[in-house]
């Protein structure tokens, strides 16, 4: 593996560029064509009469402890949602991604960030994540080497495993097997 500055963004097609720039204030938005806002800044933007959405791609970062409720009416105007994993054992963003895909019909990009490790990537892809922000060198090395594994049997409905979305919403795979 060549030396790559971390963090990087990975998709099923490999490493991709990140056009979204994280901004701290609404004044910074006009300096960019694609911005990533905190949930608080998104709420502040929604109080503005001219929300600048026509010319600027908008992304929103949602921390693990933050609710999606304030976003639900405007999902059609959001290009990317970045869901945070503050620790390896914090699974709240898995639930958010699955709900965004299955209950709310969000078709934009969902990205995992934070504590993203190789052991969870199969579950992240099944939950509906499109891209992963990788900050761990070992995880990046294994991703680039194609070391992704998936059990193929799931206790919950899935949006698409490691092998892609061709599985669709597969349902409860263990229920379809005889003997269970």
Calculate mean pLDDT across residues 58-81. Answer: 94
Look at 1-10, 135-144, 153-162 and tell me which has the smallest mean pLDDT: 153-162
Q: What is the pTM of this model?
A: 0.82
Domains delineated in the chain: 8-175 (3.20.20.70)
118: nearest Cα among 88, 142, 95: 142
Whether the CA torsion 28, 29, 33, 34 is positive or negative: it is positive
pLDDT at 142: 92
């Amino acid at each position: 593996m060549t030396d790559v500055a971390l963090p990087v963004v990975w998709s099923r097609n490999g490493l991709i560029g990140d056009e979204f720039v994280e901004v701290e204030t609404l004044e910074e938005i006009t300096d960019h064509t694609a911005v990533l806002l905190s949930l608080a800044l998104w709420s502040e933007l929604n109080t503005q009469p001219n929300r600048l959405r026509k010319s600027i791609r908008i992304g929103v970062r949602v921390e693990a402890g933050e609710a999606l409720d304030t976003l639900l009416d405007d999902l059609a105007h959001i290009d990317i949602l970045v869901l945070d994993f503050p620790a390896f054992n914090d699974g709240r963003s898995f639930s958010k991604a699955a709900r965004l895909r299955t209950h709310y019909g969000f078709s934009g990009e969902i990205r995992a960030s934070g504590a993203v490790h190789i052991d969870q990537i199969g579950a992240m892809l099944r939950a509906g994540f499109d891209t992963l922000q990788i900050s761990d060198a070992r995880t990046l090395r294994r991703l680039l080497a194609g070391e992704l594994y998936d059990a193929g049997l799931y206790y919950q409905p899935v949006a698409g495993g490691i092998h892609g979305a061709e599985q669709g919403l597969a349902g409860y795979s263990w229920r379809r097997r005889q003997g269970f």
